[in-house]
Structures are given as C-alpha cells and as structure tokens.
Chains A and B, each alone.
Chain A
C-alpha cells in the first residue's frame, strides 16, 4: 500500500509515523456526533490536523492505545453511499479506497432505522466494522434505547453505545475497534438485485460489488466510469436492470426499499416501540426559529448579540485593545526593540524586524493583536451555533431568499462561515451540490462578505459614526443581493433544490465547542501568519527599493476617483495581502484623523468589496480554476471601485457629512 488513503496529502506521513500501519475510519450521517466522538477518541493533545487545504475536509488524529498509536480519520458526514454533494463523494472515496482499515460507523441511537441500511452496505465490504450507537442519552430519555447485545449478535460485529459529550462508552468503542472483528459472510445483496450487480462486478465481492451497485443506481460518478471501462458488460447489466426496473432510478428506489425492510427486520425486538413523545419546551422554541415572523427577528438578535456585541465590541474592541496596548506595547515591543537595536547595527536589517513594516512590529503584531482575538471570538460563536443545531434552521429560514440568487438554503453555511474566514468558507462551498451554486457563493464570498478580521476593524473604525455603519451595511447588502441575482440570471443551469435534515436543538457541549474553535483557530493561524510575515518582507523590501512608493503612486488615481485623499492609497495596497490588512491600514488613518466620515465610509465600502486576500485567491484558483479566479478578481475590483465612487459621490452630494 503506497498511500493508505488517496485523499490525504504527503504530510500525513509526518503526522503519523506509522501512517501505513493502521487506521480507523469514522463514517456516518451528519449530526450524529461524529466529530465529537472523533475528539474523544483522539483527545485534545494529539495532532488534530485539519486538511481543508490539500485534501477535502478529512480530519486526521491519533488515538493512543497504550502500546503504540492508531490513526483516526474523520470523514465528512454522508446519508448514504449514493452521494449527492462533493463532500459526500469524498467520504465515499475514503471508504472505498481505504482497504484494510477498520470502519467505525457512528449512528444516532434514536434512529437506527436510518443508519442500518448503510451498515448493511459496509458489512458486505468484509472489513472490520464497529457500530457506535451515539447519543445514547437522548435515546434513553426518549425511551427507545436499543438492545445493543441483541443487535450485535444479529449483525455479527460489535455494537457499542456511546455518549460523545460525556465520554461514556468511548473506551469500549476503542477496545472493540482495536479487536477489529471482521463480519462473517452472508451480507450479500438480496435477490433479485444480487444477480444484476454480480453480473457487473464479474463475480467479485467487497468494494467491486459496492461500486457496481452504485453504478447501477445511476450514480453520476460511477455510472460513466463503468460504461467507459467495460462497455459490453455495462450494456448487459444495465439492460438486465432496465428490463426489470425500468431505469436506474427505479432500481435505486427498489434496492433502498429492500434494504430498509432488511434493516427494520434486524431492528425488530432491538428497539422498543416509541412511546408517544411529550411536547417539550424545545418544540416551541423550534417553531419560533422556523417561522419567518419570529425567526427573522431572532436571526437579527443572534447577529446583534453574538457577532456585533461579542465579536465586534468584545473581540475587536476590548480584547484587541488589551493585547495591543498591554501585551505588545507594554510587555513585548520594548524588549524586542531594545534587543534589535543592540544586536543589529545596520538600520535596514533592524527595520526588517522592528521597523514600520517589520516582521515583528507589523507581521506578528497584526496577526496576534488585531486578527487573532477577532477570529477567535468569531469561531467560538460559530461553533456554538453549529453545535446547538441553529445553522440548519437558519438555512431553512433563508432558503426562499437565497433561491432568488440561484442558491439554496444550504449556501447559508459557507456564507456565514465567510464572515469568519473567506478562505475557509471557499473550501466549504464543496458541500454545495452544483457547480453553479459553488461559483455564485465563491463570487459572493470574494466580493460582498467581509471576513471577521476585516469586519472587526471596519466596524471599529466606523463605530464613531453610527450613520456610517448603517450606510456601509446597506451598501454591502445591496451589492450582495444585486450581484447574486445577476449571477443567477447569467449563469446557466437548473435552479437548486433544498433538502436538509434538521437535527434536534441541543445544548451545546462545551468540550466540543472549544475543540472545534481550537482546531479552526489553529488552522487559520498556521495559514495566515506566514502570509503576514511575507507581506511584511515585501513591504519592507518595497520601502527600501522605492517600489512601494511607485506602486502607491500607481493606484493614487483610482483612490482619487472615489474621492479619497492620496494618503489612503497604501491601505489598498496592503489589501492585496490580507483584506483585513488593508482595513487595519485605514484604522491607523482614522485614529490619526486623516479621514472624515464620508471618506471613511467610502474607503470602508471599497476595501470591503475589494479583491480577496492572497490566501482566498489561491484557494479560489485551486477550487474553481485560474480563469474563474482571475474573473472574480477583475469583477471584484471593478465593482469595488464603481460602488465606492458612487457612494462617495452620493455622500458628498447629499452633504452634511464632513
């Protein structure tokens, strides 16, 4: 086995010394606590490495066995092997290509009937399998706790009850996975499906059989692959299928129905009949969240308290102020500057470290003092909303509005995440079904969604003038809606459809929230700090050689065009490196009083809409191709300056603004 999983990058080997040795693969539907269980299995101190960059979001961790370790892979959630989104295809590939690895299927103990069809498919693979019935506490409360021993006896593989939030059963799960029981044979497909699938699989079992089944079900990835690889065989098998079931869809439904019947038979006597559910307070809250009349005001309340007050006022105000003024200005900067002065006699070299564009004074300070507190508080709020099940409800609420922009409610998740980090959000567009939706969201993220660092700094600057904040919000909203609607009408393709499971509202688990926040902050920091340092070096070199002045001069006409003083030009230049970098430049000017309210509003609007940061551009290029990335860049620049010019002109025309 040259590479255990085709999806993981080469660095995997560095993370896991014995990467080729053994792996546990966590699979299962979304919202069953898979990630929380992953956190429990790998612990806080292990190398939880997120690879949203090079692979898709396949998370890797290490479980300590006492003697030696085992790699644990967390795959994206999927409802079944018949994948709908790109993300589900990634999870499926991880299963199909990870031969020899033990599988841990995580299921919601309250609806095993929904999970067992997948279990049946996994059993047929003939690989070590453990079924983890998570959320056992909820199942017990509902009076539907399954008889685990009986189910285990029927399936022939270990079945373990777990509660990821408290850690209950996790040790048992690890022990069961360690033993690695391989299911006995006899989990082949029922007739009449078996004949057709076996024909296409040429009598092979395991992965080949599953692959053939998916192709016959009309999977858009597998079907053409089979048709191209073995046309005659495909013709024979598909005509046999069509003769009986009409088309692929009929076959898929019939097979799914048969599997469901098998699952129900297996669960007979395992799950007690559900007692009538009591009406709970949460049901009332749920109704309030889903009804637009109460839901929209609640969204605004969440936005105000969670993001404006907590991220904006506390993160971007209090925390930034403390880290900047106390940690840096008082504790760190004076000694570092003193040492640099003493050690480095040559001024340019000293400037590289502690000058106006120095690695420490600009790179490290901006990253740690301005960006980190804002991004950290944002990810905390996001993880809270994610963990309590609010995001799917928000998706439902906004579905109709988003449909006008060629999107479905599902786009809410990357769009909201974009307010934290646009780069990360661009990667998350993979959860969307069609290329059309992915392109529209990528464009909107690049253009009209300010990332949290930018948001924090911009709101910080504008907070002196409440009217300016209002103008800024309205302009961004208008651009968002207009560009979305325009893109939807210009891009070819079918309108998307909306489907989503609504997990019950749950109290967020502190541990899980902190783990998620920590992982994201670490990913973010590892990604941005090098860029900040690089930006410092480029700016320092530019200053030294005079290239910076030349570049500044080059964009002065554009800056004048939107009615800003020449001094604002450098801020736009920084914006190329990080969007928030540019905003931070404006912040400095606002503090020195160079810009008045009208100019400040114009500058804030322009810089928010302006080009995405380098990291986002690179991710766009990789995800959507060079042509698309460059198009987005050109569109964003055009829209930014056109809107900025218009806003500046309007504000001056209306007057009353200094």
Chain B
C-alpha cells in the first residue's frame, strides 16, 4: 500500500499505515476515521472532545458549507473549518 516492493506481508507498520489528511480537507460524502487530534489550543481541543471527535471514531462528511457537517453514527455535529483543521483523519475508500 505504501509502495514498497516487498508489499504489506510482514511489514511492521502494515495496517497502521495511513495518509494523514485533516477533516477540513475532506469533501462532502467522503468517509474517514479520526486518527489524532492536533488542535493547537486547549480550548479548541476541549470542543473537539465535546463533539465526540476522538481517535478511532468513523465519520462521514455531509456538507462543507456554510460549515462542516459531520455524521458519526446517529449523531450529527457541525464545526467550522478552523476547528476541523485540528482533526487528523485517514480517508476510507
């Protein structure tokens, strides 16, 4: 997956390998898994925690404008692009 000739078989980082993207960079309809929170400010981080955006959570972007609308299970949350920059995700096919 990462392009080495040996392939994924036996590779130590296989399965944990992902191309990091921020939630803000996802388009409408894209699915992703939250990997890590990288909000520089503590206050922003607490907001992300309040919304339930935690590592391991799977989400789908419903719309990007006028603010990001993200669905996680049966819960839907809205956040602005600034906050979404602080969520590192890996895209799901």
A-to-B contact residues, CB < 8 Å: 79-80, 82-84, 110-111, 113-114, 142, 144, 218, 220, 248-249, 252-253, 256-257, 260-261, 274, 277, 287, 290-292, 392, 395-397, 399-400, 403, 408-409, 433, 497-502, 504
Contacts and interface: CB of A to CB of B under 8 A. Distances in A.
Closest 3 CB pairs of A and B: A79-B50, A498-B80, A502-B76
A656 B40 CA distance: 59
Most buried by B among A83, A110, A142, A498: A498
Nearest to B80: A498
Interface in B32-59: 36-37, 39, 42-52, 54-57
A290 B42 contact: no
A291 B63 CA distance: 9
A290 B68 CA distance: 11
Contact of A396 (B36, B56, B57, B67): B67
A492 to B, nearest CB: 16
Given A111-B75, A409-B67, A499-B80, 12 more contacts: A79-B51, A110-B74, A252-B46, A253-B37, A253-B45, A253-B54, A277-B74, A400-B67, A497-B83, A498-B78, A498-B83, A499-B48
Contacts of A142: 74
A257 B56 CA distance: 8
B82 interface: yes
Interface in B65-86: 65-67, 69, 73-80, 82-83
Contacts of B65: 292
Most buried by B among A79, A110, A144, A392: A79
A82 B49 contact: yes
B49 A396 contact: no
Interface residues of B, number: 33
B68 to A, nearest CB: 9
A397 B66 CA distance: 6
B80 A502 contact: no
A464 B42 CA distance: 54
Contacts of A395: 78
Nearest to B42: A218
Most buried by A among B57, B69, B80: B80
Contacts of A82: 46, 49-50
A88 to B, nearest CB: 8
Contacts of A110: 73-74
Given A290-B63, A498-B67, A499-B79, A433 B51 contact: no
